[in-house]
Every structure is written in C-alpha cells, then in structure tokens.
Amino acid sequence: MTAGDRIKDLMKMQKISQNRLAKMAGISQSGLSSIVNGDVSAKEDTLQRIAEALGCTTAHLLGETNSDDITAAEREMIRVYRSLNRQGKEYIRQQFAIAGQLYAGESVSVPGVANQ
C-alpha cells in the first residue's frame, strides 16, 4: 500500500474530498491529486501538512506504523472527534482527563455527579 492509498483511505473514512484536504493542508488540489495517484512523491514538509490535516503521522502515511489494532468503534470516535469544533474537542479532552483520573483510582469531583 502506498502513501497515496493511505491518504485515499483516510479521506474516505473521514469523508473528506481531495479539494477539502488540499485546502486543509495548504497545497494545491492538483498537487494532492498527483501525490494520491502516485505520480509524484510528496516532499517531507508537504507530507507533514497532509498528515496533520488527516490527524495522523507521516509514519502512518509511509506505512511505517500499523493501525490495524484500532477497532471500527475507535475509528468512528476519532472521526467524530475530528469533526468537532474547538469547544467540543476541549470538552472531550476534559472528559478523558476525568476518566483517566478515575481509572487511576484518584478521587475526582465531577460537576453534577454525586461523589461516592
């Protein structure tokens, strides 16, 4: 699987068009198309911008990591998280911090929830 194939898969999973991804990454749509189709290899900085726009690493796009251990439910959570605005993402981060504290056995005060 090529970097272009991985980009296509991530675009499909996140329901992002080539035009939108190109804008998010700050590159031309024709340049992105050439990368996706395997006509050219992306420069390191371009690949980094594409990876950031897709919420992954350049290592993932290059096939240096494997994300097969992520379940479909986890992929859906990631997709939903990426679609949130800044405020929504901050709320989710706060909830994860609370969950992490609870998991570690720490006492946590959660507004609107009685302490046990």
Same domain, 52 and 83: no
Residues 6+ apart with CB under 8 A from 67: 56, 60
pLDDT tens column, 95-110: 988 888 887 877 766 6
Same domain, 48 and 26: yes
How confident is the model at residue 67, as a pLDDT?
57
pLDDT tens column, 42-88: 999 999 999 989 988 888 898 887 655 666 677 788 888 889 999 99
Instruction: Enumerate long-range contacts of 37-44, CB under 8 Å, 24 or more apart.
Output: 37/4, 38/2, 38/4, 41/3, 42/3
Q: Quick one: CA torsion of 74, 75, 77, 83, rounded to 10 degrees?
A: 170
Same domain, 52 and 97: no
- Kindly report the CATH number assigned to the domain that includes residue 57: 1.10.260.40
Is 67 contained in some domain? no
Same domain, 9 and 35: yes
Is 47 contained in some domain? yes
- DSSP conformation class of 17: -
Radius of gyration of the chain (CA): 18
Domain containing residue 86: 72-103
Domains in the chain, number: 2
